[in-house]
Amino acid sequence: MLRFGADGNHIIGGGSAGCVMANRLSADSDKAVCLIEAGPRDRNPFIHMPLGVGVIARTGWVNWNCETEVEPHLNNRRLYWPRGKTLGGSSSINAMVYIRGDRADYEGWGAAAGADWDWPRMRELFIALENNQAVHDEHHGNAGPLCVSNLGRVNPLTEDFVEAGVELHYPRNPDFNGVSQEGFGVYQVTQKDGQRFSTARAFLDPARSRKNLAIETNGLVERILFKDRRAIGVRVGGRDLLLRPGGEVILSAGAVNSPQILMLSGVGSASELRQHGIEIVLDAPEVGANLADHLDYTAVATTADREGFGVAHSFLPRAIRGA
């Protein structure tokens, strides 16, 4: 039962952005906040053990299991695209690598959207949010909510890989979030004491006990409800949850589900929406278009030793330890 279904603010999506929004908004005790997540709570043990990523990234337990459309430049293959479906979103199923975007990306944001999105402001926010367990310098924060640490154990094959890059005259880089991102080195991870530190742990756990915050899981949002192009509520499981005057709907369902929900709600390309019999609220052809992502390439080789990561019964003890 949604305790704040007719009040306050509805946040759609309990992932990386949604957890932060729930924390920040509910810090004001005068605001009632309802965080609505389509997936379950983040209790699956494979979420919290780092090497569990090899399991949850390939199962539907806490994963939308998305696939791309046929890619003509990749021999017409469909590519597997895991997306988190639990509290913490994709931060609960990803590889935990802590690395910021390239400075030039944020400079592009600043040129398009103003100084609040430019690199100096974004760098300031990164440092403020970070609680780095290992690095103490001007490039990192040590008092923020998001725990970052060195790998507990660096695999010898990783060290060999870095050395190979140096032998090819690439720079050795001890910190990809420092002066430069170029080179070979060992990345840091969003972990604490050998366990995953998702945005649910960083931002939602400290706020869970607040009386003005309702966290509702297994609640699939079907659409946003509009009146005169203003959001007035959401539909969840066939039930309309309306806002009181002054309340807001905050859409933070990720790069795939956010445009999907907008289009199901009548915001998108008018010609495409008509094909599916969806009533048009706003003709916005850019919604659901122009998405780009990088490829993830995995090279697999057989070795005679036990240093690599493999699927075998003998590997399970290491996976449970997170080693």
Each residue's pLDDT expressed in tens, for the chain with a length of 323 residues: 344 444 579 999 999 999 999 999 999 999 999 999 999 999 999 999 998 888 888 788 899 999 999 999 999 999 999 999 999 999 999 999 999 999 999 999 999 999 999 999 999 999 999 999 999 999 999 999 999 999 998 989 999 999 999 999 999 999 999 999 999 999 999 999 999 999 999 999 999 999 999 999 999 999 999 999 999 999 998 999 888 778 899 999 999 999 999 999 999 999 999 999 999 999 999 999 999 888 888 788 887 777 776 655 555 565 555 54
The DSSP letter of residue 244 is P
258 Ramachandran zone, left/alpha/beta (phi>0; psi -120 to 50): alpha
Please calculate the CA angle 48-101-127 and round it to the nearest 5 degrees.
Answer: 70
Q: What is the pLDDT of residue 233?
A: 94
Q: CA–CA separation, 211 vs 28, rounded Å?
A: 11
Instruction: Strands of 230-309 (E only): list them.
Output: 230-236, 239-242, 249-251, 267-268, 282-283
Q: Is 231 helix (H, G, I), strand (E, B) or coil?
A: strand
Domains of the chain (ranges, CATH numbers): 9-46+201-283 (3.50.50.60), 97-189 (1.10.1220.110)
Q: What is the pLDDT of residue 316?
A: 57
Q: What is the pLDDT of residue 5?
A: 45
Q: CA–CA separation, 103 vs 181, rounded Å?
A: 9
Give the CB-side neighbour count of residue 319, counting CA atoms within 13 A. Answer: 18
Q: What is the pLDDT of residue 1?
A: 37
Q: What is the pLDDT of residue 315?
A: 56
Query: CB neighbours of 274 closer than 8 A, spacing ≥ 6?
Result: 280
Query: CB neighbours of 163 closer than 8 A, spacing ≥ 6?
Result: none
